[in-house]
Structure 1
Amino acid sequence: MSRAAALVGVASGAAAVAYVLYSHGRRILPTIPTTVKLLPNGTFGSEALATSATLALEGTLVICTQNLAVSGANQVLLNLVEGGMWTGSIVLLSPSVGPFGKEFADLGVSIYIGQIEELLERIRDVRVAVCNTIMTAHIVNKLTKHSIPTAWILHEWWPSGMLEEELAKRNDKNTTPEIVREALDGCPRVVSVCAAQQQLYKPGHGVVNFVGVPAPVVGWKIGAEPVTSRPITLLSLGIVCPRKNQHWAVQVFQAFAGARKDVRLIIVGARYVRDYEMEYVKKVKAAAEGDSRIEVHDVTSDVDQFYRRADVLLFT
């Protein structure tokens, strides 16, 4: 993974971790640069923390996921780890095994499959926790009751009604609107990926850190197809599912492209975990069948290879 890609999510994680440690009177070694202001609410020096070469934290950091599937949400946690902002031990908690676990293990992260109570019985020097996605709300509440500083990164846009529907699709028995509301009110730092999401959920202690593609390092496109020898490429990157409208992307692309041969659409993110996702992948592939200008690829942790081929990012 490129250094540029590794910085995605580090600002959110580093700033959130620094805040919850500060607000709970925990130690940060060495002292955070004086240019960084840690405030109970609002914006603080996430960029300075993410780019600091001296920030070091001790003890154990616990990162909590809803699963270990290959996903953009889990990639944010991986970027946080790869960014090197925590120098103590790191343990990842997941309720189930999955292919993305190898990515964390390769970075030296210990992986524990089970429940948060079991993990806390085994590890007694937990300094801070980072929970990821709305489906970890129940873990946020338990960590808060244990007085463990916790940052919670939200990725979803699920208003009332849609929240219940999406949880039912995933057969999630741990999360309810009431549990989510308790976590939003009690978590010391809730990280939203945009201001509109923060307005939707209205956390008690929230901050906005935008998620996006960072400025690339020099030479990141080395090895890419020359522009003169390939078609203009539109890239749709994300889990293939109804919420992300890749089927519509295929239809729009075909209407736009007509009979042109100098354009192509690359869709990355086909996953075969949940029934409704598998059905939707079939629908997208059926719409693209017979059109050699459209490619559908499985989920991958190596997204740089597709960014190198892209001229336009397509969001639907």
Structure 2
Amino acid sequence: MDETVADLLPGMELPAGADPYEDFDFQPYFEEAKSEEELRKTWRVFTKVKDVLENGRRMENASWRLWHRERLRGASDSKAETPEDELMMSEMEKFDMNLDSSLRQAQERTNHMVGEMFGGSQQKFMEEKEKQEALQKAERARSLVEIQEKFGVPDAAVDAFLQWIRSDLLQSPEISVAGSADVMPPSLADAKDLMETLKVKPRKRCAAFGHSLERNGANNFLLYLVRELKDELAFTIFSPKEGAMREDYEAMGMEVRISDMKSPTYENDVVEAIRDFDYTVANTIMLTEVVIASKKLAIPSLWVIHEAWPQDQFEYYAKEVFLMAHLDDSKIRQAFAEATKIVFPAQVQKVCYEGLFKDGVASVIYNGIPLAGINTYRAVQSRKRVRAELGYGENDFLIVQMGTVCKRKGQLITAQAFAQLIKRNDGTGKQPKLLMIGARYIRQHEIDYINAIKEELASTGADQHTTILDVKKNVLPYYLAADVVVCPSLNEVLPLVICEAM
């Protein structure tokens, strides 16, 4: 191909919903499509998903151009189209192509007419381009100002550093700057002036605390939240331990800090960590110290409660179920009394904690998920092929349970029910298969629970039809392959699994 993907789609970015929610890359669709038929299929893919992707219509346009060019190239080579080639293109595809061509011609005529009347569309395009470039400069200026304020760097030091970049770094032969591109402000004062002109303000700083960096529903919620708000707030992520989701936050340019809950100085560590922030987010009931420290420092806090712990069992859930030595009944009650705002994903949770918080503090905001990645995956993947890749055939009836394998998620109940289903299966219908995703071998009580599930299945022979997988980053193939998704959770109200399955 003469044109590269970068030439066709300058500055293209994947939609937020496609990553990190799934391991999905669109570029191979362009790079691997060599023949006209492959390019035709590529165009059809992007026709289906153009309205769910941020750059969907641009990708559809690029794929159509590549396909159409190959068709013209084939025609110039005097390769006659056979009846089989003609049948290969459905009537709908012909309609789409003809409609797209007609719309393009109409747009060209409109642009020409507007150009004659009002001075040309090219001028308008250049003005829009200049506006976007100015906004990009303002964003870079904002980042500079935020860094200066974050670390308390003197103005003169910032100006000296900018001068060094401009006079030394950008002048080195190893670095190439296109034309006379103005990639950075000459000084800190110029950066602030540009922000003022374009009304771009420095973002307030927010410390967002999660209970881990492992992949699970509560942590995904925090990831979705900060991704939606990152243009308004400058986030720093705090976690008590390392995990796979660090790379997700760092890919968005966010700093990730580790603050060990098991440290004897944890309470003071939290106070010092948030002292210079404007807001805090505590994601899960287990982060009471964040709420309490925020109150102490007069920093507005948002506490997101995913759990539904009965008020008379706070100690049991904190100590026995989640093994949180730092957490107890008194801290939970103090945090409820001192939180600035509390969010519950369902009304039943608000009722569960009734009486612990003041009027007007708590709100119910139902769980949501980004749909772009899910819709894209469904549009471009074959369910039959995905099932085959996972080892399931047309005669299998696949039951899927997603989530950390532990007592509160109820996988043992699923195993018991599946064992009964296997007993009743007379072999005349589809073969039931069970797939559990989310096993981890960290806490002893979780390991014991996994072993209990395996023993239950083995006692009836149902283990021959069951697969238990570890935690997975990309869970979409399992949803697509499933005939039924089960969620017998014992104390959750609206798990993200339900939203994702729907």
Instruction: Specify the TM-score bucket, using the shorter chain as the normaliser.
Output: 0.7 to 0.9
1:1-316 pair list within 5 angstroms: 3=17, 58-114=203-259, 115=266, 117-118=268-269, 121=272, 125-169=276-320, 170-202=322-354, 203-204=357-358, 205-211=361-367, 218-221=375-378, 222-226=380-384, 229=394, 231-257=396-422, 258-259=424-425, 260=427, 261-289=430-458, 290=461, 291-316=463-488
CA distance in 1, matches of 2:406, 2:347: 24
Counterpart of 1:105 in 2: which secondary structure? helix
Deviation at 1:210, TM superposition (A): 1.9
CA distance in 2, matches of 1:265, 1:214: 27
Of stretches 217-226 and 130-139 in structure 1, the one that deviates more from structure 2 is 217-226
CA distance in 1, matches of 2:421, 2:273: 57
- C-alpha contact 2:398 2:434 (8 A) present in aligned 1: yes
Deviation at 1:314, TM superposition (A): 0.6
CA distance in 2, matches of 1:162, 1:5: 38
User: Which amino acid is the alignment partner of residue 209 of structure 1?
Assistant: I
CA distance in 2, matches of 1:73, 1:100: 12
Deviation at 1:122, TM superposition (A): 6.2
TM-score (norm: length of structure 1): 0.74
Structure with the greater alpha carbon radius of gyration: 2
CA gap 1:5/1:246 in 2 versus in 1, 3 angstroms: farther
Counterpart of 2:327 in 1: which secondary structure? coil
Counterpart of 2:446 in 1: which secondary structure? helix
What is the CA RMSD across the aligned residues, in angstroms? 3.1
CA distance in 1, matches of 2:484, 2:369: 13
Of stretches 77-86 and 302-311 in structure 1, the one that deviates more from structure 2 is 77-86
- C-alpha contact 1:138 1:180 (8 A) present in aligned 2: no
CA distance in 1, matches of 2:327, 2:215: 21
- Which has a greater percent of strand? 1
Q: How many residues align?
A: 270
User: Which amino acid is the alignment partner of residue 220 of structure 1?
Assistant: Y
CA gap 1:118/1:269 in 2 versus in 1, 3 angstroms: same
CA gap 1:187/1:304 in 2 versus in 1, 3 angstroms: same
CA gap 1:6/1:211 in 2 versus in 1, 3 angstroms: farther
- C-alpha contact 2:207 2:274 (8 A) present in aligned 1: no
Deviation at 1:120, TM superposition (A): 6.0
User: Which amino acid is the alignment partner of residue 212 of structure 2?
Assistant: N
Deviation at 1:197, TM superposition (A): 0.7
Counterpart of 1:286 in 2: which secondary structure? helix
Deviation at 1:179, TM superposition (A): 1.1
Deviation at 1:111, TM superposition (A): 1.2
Deviation at 1:297, TM superposition (A): 1.3
- C-alpha contact 2:20 2:248 (8 A) present in aligned 1: no
User: Which amino acid is the alignment partner of residue 292 of structure 1?
Assistant: Q
CA distance in 1, matches of 2:292, 2:406: 29
What residue in structure 2 maps to residue 50 of structure 1?
none
CA gap 1:133/1:288 in 2 versus in 1, 3 angstroms: same
Counterpart of 2:286 in 1: which secondary structure? helix
User: Which amino acid is the alignment partner of residue 61 of structure 1?
Assistant: C
CA gap 1:286/1:5 in 2 versus in 1, 3 angstroms: farther
CA distance in 2, matches of 1:2, 1:296: 30
Deviation at 1:87, TM superposition (A): 4.2
CA distance in 2, matches of 1:147, 1:3: 35
- C-alpha contact 2:399 2:483 (8 A) present in aligned 1: yes
Structure 1 residues 230-273: Cα deviation after superposition (integer angstroms, max 9, x where no partner):
63322211111111110110111232343354332221111222
TM-score (norm: length of structure 2): 0.48
- C-alpha contact 2:435 2:467 (8 A) present in aligned 1: yes
CA distance in 1, matches of 2:279, 2:333: 21
Higher relative contact order (CA 8 A, sep 6+): 1
Counterpart of 1:308 in 2: which secondary structure? helix
User: Which amino acid is the alignment partner of residue 475 of structure 2?
Assistant: V
- Structure 1 unaligned runs (5+)? 8-55
Counterpart of 1:175 in 2: which secondary structure? coil
CA distance in 1, matches of 2:272, 2:288: 20
User: Which amino acid is the alignment partner of residue 180 of structure 1?
Assistant: I
